[in-house]
Amino acid sequence: MIRLGENPCTTADFCAQDLSILRLKLLILMARAFLDGCPFGHRRRETVIRNADHVARLFADGLFFSDSGPTDHDPLHHLAMDHIFHQRVRLMAVMAKSFAQENPVGYHRRATMKNNIDYLCEALGFMPEKQTTALLKVA
């Protein structure tokens, strides 16, 4: 039988921290799509609200790395004790939930959200391309 993909010995275990980072990246993509004027239907709004709640809960009070602690081989270990990063993540969750609930978003809120997205993307080393958010215009 032909086996495709990575050798199981060379892949790292997928843990809750990885899933949380993926949820945060999804939240960032959805917020960027909102800022770019992509349509937001009922299902997408529900997804943003659920993700925002989950991310806010996980990053509350520095609980993100409390289980096993960050490891040196983890590329995001520098974020473990970064209080500013945790506060920015929580702010991102609150802002995303706010726009998903159709609260008014003026110029200053948009600018703050863009600034926060840029900070989080730089901290995570996550640079989504315009094509990624362009895919969200179909829904």
Instruction: State the DSSP H helix or E strand holding residue 48, giving kind and residue range, or none if neither.
Output: helix 42-58
What value does the mean pLDDT of the chain take? Answer: 78
Q: Which residues, other chains included, contact 63 with Cβ-Cβ below 8 Å and sequence gap of 6+?
A: none
Q: Could you tell me the CA-to-CA distances from 105 to 68, 78, 80, 101, 112 in Å, in that order?
A: 39, 32, 31, 11, 10
135 pLDDT tier (thresholds 50, 70, 90):
low
pTM of the model: 0.73
Which pair of tokens denotes residue 81? 């004790």
**Model confidence over 62-89: pLDDT tens digits?**
555 544 444 555 555 555 557 788 889 9
Comparing C-alpha atoms, which of 40, 15, 45 is closest to residue 136? 40
